[in-house]
């Protein structure tokens, strides 16, 4: 990721607004020299799946106030020395110096180690990033990192393991009946199997001895938690420190088969969150849940289906849902496999199930109301982003630290107070109400100084070009957007357009012009990621020669940088 003074200011603003979770960004004052705990932080970021950032010269305890660094060059040398001498293996660091409010700031990007090199240690102890700092890893955390280094053929198939002494008597009759019915309706070849017991075997619910497999028990069991207590979830409202005695309220254990847990958690969130008034696309003001149900349902289903069923079950880790003063948090035990957090947000369909057999079972699960548990096509993340945008909520954050995957839904407005005031004045001037998507486009055009249609289509996947064009035409008719030389902009706000890769991808037409395989290779290098040649091969299915050939023009055009030497296994690539 390329850091600029503007990017630093934006990041600090985000931290002030939603600073409850600083997994990916650590701020340190560095007033008296090398900050205390810098070794632990470098080590923790080295063990993360994605790059971490340390911002020196910022006081987190004072609301992320900028305090500055006296001598950035000396600070860089000192941090490099600590990294080389005390962290093993030492991660690669990328430094940049900035000036904000006349004060000097140093940004340190920490490149994560390759899975086979983890865990990094500091003074013989391994550390990991959590929501509010660096923690010493326990044996289960280390085991999770070791599993992530295994190839697909070496992975332990936890959902395929049989649970001795169980049979179909432990399954929920209603959920089982719906599952069998759905399978027979959807799979013509399996529908020819008249014997239910045989059908359950070929769908991996049971083994050939009639014992229930762990994935089948979790998905269909009447009370799977009686066999494995960790196959449940906990929900609670987390109170702020000033709210009196106790840290939580409405704490509840969620049990039962997977479809039942999904419905119960959805209902609990509805009961413990607010109702808000929003304008629909037709211009009507309606009352809706604070968090869009389609987005929440998708995240919950993913958390339940893609949670780790191996080491985390053994130590009792459950799916957790927490509502705080600032956000809704969903935590699933176990990190992502086969893709990065940034890849989740790519426009292409993304399917990388952690539990492949459970995932196949879940495709045919139905709730008591007959609704699907999962879509099964991999496009759900785009629906989440769309639903939160249309609800006027801030963009959700996806955080993978290797041992758990977390989704944060910040509460409140998607825009700053200044942006909201500008929109309010614009509505009065134009005598129009705008939909949330129209407001979002207006804010983006204003802050970016304008955009092409293709760029807007990329930003607003999956609306499509035709829908985006209709929205822009209406905004032009309202007099709040103008089109000149192929650039859409807000009147009086047009600037020289420069797209930052960490906010939006390079124009697809430009990438195609660089080579047939270039778009796929560029997409495989997520924003903020440092990936090896082997990572790109795995994500694209291309040969080493195809990947190298596609990387050449990206490197030549400065869209990608190479960190390391040509032909070295440890060499990584990152977007500029």
Structure confidence by residue, pLDDT tens digits, 99-131: 999 999 999 999 999 888 999 999 999 999 987
Residue 429 CA neighbour count, 13 Å, CB half: 10
In this predicted structure, the answer to whether residue 340 has a pLDDT above a threshold of 80 is: no
- Look at residue 282 in the predicted model and tell me its pLDDT: 66
pLDDT at 429: 93
Whether 206 has a pLDDT exceeding 90, the answer reads: yes
Burial class (CB in 10 A: 0-12, 13-18, 19+), 211: middle
* pTM score, whole prediction: 0.80
Residue 243: per-residue pLDDT = 58
The answer regarding whether domain 508-575 maps to CATH 3.30.300.20 reads no
For the domain spanning 5-150, the CATH number is 3.30.950.30
How far is the CA of 199 from the CAs of 33, 171, 194, 337, 356, in angstroms? 67, 15, 8, 29, 18
Between 326 and 576, whose confidence is greater? 326
Cα–Cα dist 1/554, whole Å: 15
What pLDDT does 482 receive?
94
Give pLDDT tens digits for 419-462.
999 999 999 999 999 988 999 999 989 987 888 888 888 788 77
Cα distance between residue 468 and residue 532, in whole Å: 36
pLDDT band for position 516 (cuts 50, 70, 90): confident
What is the C-alpha to C-alpha distance for residues 372 and 259, in angstroms, rounded to an integer?
9
Token pair 């630290």: residue: 401
Q: What average pLDDT is seen over the chain?
A: 87
From CA 111, how far away is CA 92, in angstroms rounded?
A: 5
Looking at 233-378, list the stretches that DSSP marks H as alpha helix, in order from N- to C-terminal side.
258-272, 293-305, 311-314, 341-344, 356-362
Residue 53 to residues 3, 11, 42: CA-CA distances in angstroms?
10, 11, 9
Cβ–Cβ < 8 Å for 527, 553: no
pLDDT of residue 341: 75
Give the list of residues 6+ apart from residue 182 with CB closer than 8 angstroms, or none. 364, 365, 366
**Residue extent(s) of CATH 3.30.565.60 domains in the chain:** 233-410
**Top-tier CATH class for 417-489:** mainly alpha
Which pLDDT tens digit goes with each residue over 260-304?
999 999 999 999 999 887 766 666 778 889 999 999 999 999 999
The residue among 138, 147, 149 whose CA lies nearest residue 112 is 149
Confidence of residue 498 (pLDDT cuts 50, 70, 90): very low
Least confident of 38-47, 182-191, 431-440, 526-535: 526-535
Q: Is the pLDDT of residue 42 over 80?
A: yes
Number of Cα atoms under 13 Å in the Cβ half of residue 255: 11
Q: Which of 19-23, 145-149, 231-235 has the lowest mean pLDDT?
A: 19-23
Residue 504 confidence (pLDDT) above 50: no
Beta-bridge partners for 121: 88, 126
* Residues above pLDDT 70, as percent of the chain: 90
Share of the chain above pLDDT 90, in %: 55
Per-residue pLDDT at 61: 86
- Parts of the chain belonging to CATH 1.10.10.10: 508-575
Provide the CATH number for the domain formed by 233-410 in this structure. Answer: 3.30.565.60
Give pLDDT, residue 376: 60
Say which residue, 56 or 1, is predicted with more confidence. 56
């Amino acid at each position: 990721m390329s850091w600029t003074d503007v990017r630093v200011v934006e990041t600090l603003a985000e931290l002030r607004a939603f600073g409850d979770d600083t997994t990916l960004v650590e701020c340190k004052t560095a007033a008296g020299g090398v900050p205390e705990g810098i070794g632990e932080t470098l080590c923790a970021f080295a063990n993360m799946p994605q790059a971490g950032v340390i911002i020196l010269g910022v006081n987190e305890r004072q609301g992320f106030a900028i305090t500055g660094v006296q001598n950035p060059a000396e600070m860089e040398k000192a941090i490099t020395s600590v990294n080389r001498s005390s962290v093993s293996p030492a991660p690669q660091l990328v430094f940049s110096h900035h000036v904000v409010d006349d004060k000097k700031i140093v940004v340190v990007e920490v490149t994560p180690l390759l899975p086979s090199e983890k865990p990094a240690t500091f003074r013989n102890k391994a550390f990991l990033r959590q929501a509010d700092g660096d923690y010493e890893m326990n044996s289960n955390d280390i085991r999770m990192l070791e599993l992530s280094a295994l190839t697909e053929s070496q992975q332990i198939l936890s959902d395929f393991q049989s649970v001795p002494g169980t049979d179909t008597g432990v399954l929920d009759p209603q959920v089982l009946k719906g599952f069998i019915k759905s399978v027979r309706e959807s799979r013509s070849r399996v529908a020819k199997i008249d014997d239910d017991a045989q059908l359950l075997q070929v769908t991996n619910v049971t083994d050939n001895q009639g014992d229930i497999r762990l994935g089948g028990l979790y998905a269909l069991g009447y009370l799977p938690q009686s066999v494995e207590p960790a196959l449940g979830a906990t929900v609670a409202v987390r109170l702020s420190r000033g709210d009196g005695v106790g840290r939580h309220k409405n704490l509840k254990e969620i049990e039962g088969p997977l479809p039942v847990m999904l419905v119960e958690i959805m209902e609990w969130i509805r009961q413990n969150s607010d109702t808000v008034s929003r304008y629909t696309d037709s211009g009507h003001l309606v009352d809706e849940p604070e968090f869009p149900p389609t987005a929440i349902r998708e995240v919950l289903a993913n958390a339940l289906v893609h949670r780790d069923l191996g080491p985390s079950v053994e130590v009792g880790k459950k799916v957790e849902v927490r509502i705080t003063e600032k956000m809704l948090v969903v935590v699933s035990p176990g990190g992502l496999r086969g893709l990065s957090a940034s890849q989740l947000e790519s426009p292409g369909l993304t399917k990388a199930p952690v539990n492949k057999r459970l995932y196949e079972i879940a495709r045919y699960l139905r709730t008591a109301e007959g609704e699907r548990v999962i879509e099964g096509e991999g496009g759900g993340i785009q629906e989440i982003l769309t639903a939160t945008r249309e609800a006027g909520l801030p963009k959700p954050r996806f955080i993978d630290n290797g041992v758990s995957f977390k989704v944060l839904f910040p509460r409140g407005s998607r825009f700053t107070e200044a942006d909201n005031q500008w929109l309010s004045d614009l509505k009065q001037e134009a005598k129009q109400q705008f939909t949330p998507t129209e407001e979002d486009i207006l804010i983006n055009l204003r802050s970016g100084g304008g955009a092409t249609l293709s760029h807007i289509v990329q930003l607003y996947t999956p609306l499509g070009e035709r829908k985006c064009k209709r929205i822009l035409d209406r905004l032009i008719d309202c007099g709040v957007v103008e089109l000149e030389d192929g650039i859409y902009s807000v009147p009086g706000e047009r600037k020289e357009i420069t797209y930052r890769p960490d906010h939006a991808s390079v124009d697809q037409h430009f990438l195609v012009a660089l080579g047939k395989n270039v778009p796929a290779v560029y997409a495989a290098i997520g924003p903020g990621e440092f990936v090896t040649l082997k990572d790109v091969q795995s994500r694209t299915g291309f040969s080493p020669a195809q990947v190298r050939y596609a990387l050449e023009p990206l490197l030549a055009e400065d869209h990608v940088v190479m960190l390391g030497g040509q032909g070295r296994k440890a060499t990584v690539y990152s977007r500029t």
